[in-house]
Amino acid sequence: MPESKSGRNGLPNEGVACIAVLEQLIDGYHSPTNQEVLSLFRFQALHNRVYSAYLKALKLNPEEVRTVNEIPCLPVSLFRNHRVKSWNFRSDAVWNSSGTSSQIPARHFVDSLSRFHRISRRIFEQCYGPCVDWIFIALLPSYLERHNSGLVCMVDGLMAAGGHPLNGYFLYDHQLLAEQYRRACDSHRRIMLFGVGFALLDLADRNLIEMRPNDVVVETGGMKGRGQELVREALHDRLCKGLKTERIHTEYGMTELSSSTYSCGSGRMSPPPWMKIRIQNLHDPLQSLAPGKTGTIDIIDFANVHSCSFIKTDDLGWAEPNGNFHVSGRRDESEWRGCNLLYQLE
């Protein structure tokens, strides 16, 4: 590849162009063209040292990649031991993944929190309407205790956009949370309860809350090593019974991504248009599977311009022909948070 020149703040000109495309995608809430995704790939293949080394290990010449489906995805485990950055920027934030004390957390170096909040709010409001129509109550103890969670940062932005005085976080005081919920019921706004699976289960078992019909419970993850891991259907069934609600919504995101997706209770995840899902063969990670076939989930997130936009997760799932997808579990050798040790760079 030819050497590129630097634009503003040391950002290569190709990166300036990719960020300009991303801004248009956010504003218009539409998909990038295949050529725009290929341009992003070639930018990161040249300037992202970790991704470039991975492509070399695969003996792949980026110039020979002609279609989006040919673009290899970087194993998510590499975020634990490497600084995955597409240029040498000064980070607005560094997010760490969840996990047990014996695990090395993944790190995501974020170049612009203002852009991240725009992305998060755009995705949320496309699914649920304006933030000012909601009161946000968050039961995220494991995330709050880390102090550097991308999920908490996302919820912070939604709360700030909503601007209601009853927005707030809770750790383990379920009685106080229930009192806050009842006070919020006096408002004309709907209420959204964000919670990690194990904490929502604890709340549900106490029978302290009966959700109003138009309020929403959003589960943001499973047990996180705090108890027996449940399949999502069993978890949601217990939560529905304990919280007196008909369905549980899901937020699917990762420390290593800048975009998230929501399911409104059916298990169907609807990614934003700048996020593409591929399902890959478990035994041949470069082979894509047809809709309806279960395999490893690969994610192309254009919003990861600053990091790596091509991520191979350890989650299992299947895709629908229209681009929506379902998460069915994790690879057997995956750790609790979904990273594995199968991939190493020299």
- Render pLDDT for 291-327 as a digit per residue (tens, 0 to 9): 999 999 999 999 999 999 999 998 999 999 999 999 9
Residue 12 lies in a domain: no
Q: Is the pLDDT of residue 339 over 50?
A: no
Q: What is the pLDDT of residue 340?
A: 29
Does some domain include residue 297? no
Whether 42 is covered by a domain: the verdict is: no
pLDDT per residue as tens digits for the range 103-154: 789 999 999 999 999 999 999 999 999 999 999 999 999 888 877 999 999 9
- Whether 148 maps to a domain, the answer reads yes
Q: Which domain holds residue 200?
A: 113-271
Structurally, the chain folds into a number of domains equal to: 1
- Considering the domain boundaries, does residue 18 fall inside one? no
**Residue 282 maps to a domain:** no
Which pLDDT does position 234 carry in this prediction?
87
DSSP-assigned beta bridge partners for residue 289: none
Q: What is the pLDDT of residue 2?
A: 45
What pairing do the DSSP bridges indicate for beta strands 249-252 and 261-263? Answer: antiparallel
CATH code of residue 199: 3.40.50.980
In this structure, is residue 153 part of a structural domain?
A: yes
pLDDT at 100 over 60: no
Q: Is 159 part of any domain?
A: yes
Question: What is the model's pLDDT at position 52?
Answer: 97
Mean pLDDT over residues 27-51, rounded? Answer: 98
345 pLDDT above the threshold of 50: no
For residue 93, pLDDT over 70 is answered with yes
Name residues whose C-beta falls within 8 Å of residue 321's C-beta, 6 or more positions apart in sequence. Answer: 291
Buried b (16+ CB within 10 A) or exposed e, 250-269: bbbbbbbbbbbbbbbbebeb
- Amino acid (one-letter) located at 155: V
